[in-house]
Amino acid sequence: MHHEIRPTRYRDVVFVKICGITNEDDALLAVALGADAVGFVFAPSTRRVNAQTVHDITRRLPPEVLTVGVFRDELPARVLELALAAGLRAVQLHGHETPEVTKQVRAKMPFVIQAFAAGSPSLERAREHGADVVLIDAAQPGSGRVFDWTLVDQAPVGLKVMLAGGLTAENVATAIKQVEPWGVDVSTGVEREPGRKDPVRLRAFIETARASAPEVPAAEAPRFYDWSNEP
């Protein structure tokens, strides 16, 4: 049975995902500092990991943390195979996937994030993918570059939007205020080197994102999923 986490009076309303995790220490630190989700890259990247490495990490994480595998232009069957082997609860499709591909994956996975490049004409048709969350990134994923945040307005109204692309502890507060996203996603901005997180930057990012989240009455706050009840 699915359950939602219901706030008592007020709660943070910005979901925080730390991506590009390559080792257990960084994953555990991100979780300890309050990250809602951690992401593992299976697409070609300096942060690429394999299913066994990720499985060894995910089995150590608390069940309420959303574990996400990031794929790019991969066959749906392969995405599902790797996600299962790695013990993941969600996948992020970060390529040029068609709505049909996204729907095939979503039929077998409890949570799917579909990424779009800022300014891409396909963003206007994001609703057709049927993903749970739409992630909007810079034109070059993983570049650490900030894009024009006004391009987020191209996303269909009513979708949950996660903002990525060049976010850091120094600009995330401004990003949250300007864009009012459902969530924020960071990788490069909290690293000391590719694939290795910087504890100071990681803490500063999560704390700043939390402090920047608007306070709203519980009855109006978006409700986040209780991942611990997923199989």
Structure tokens at 42: 């299976």
Q: Which residues are catalytic?
A: 19, 137
Round to whole Å and give the CA distance between 78 and 7. Answer: 37
Element (H, E) at 69: strand 66-71
User: Which residue is it, tokens 């007020």?
Assistant: 10
Round to whole Å and give the CA distance between 220 and 200. Answer: 33
The answer to whether 161 touches 133, Cβ cutoff 8 Å, is: yes
Q: Cα angle at 214 between 212 and 217, to 5 degrees?
A: 150
Phi, psi of 67 (to 5 degrees): -100, 125
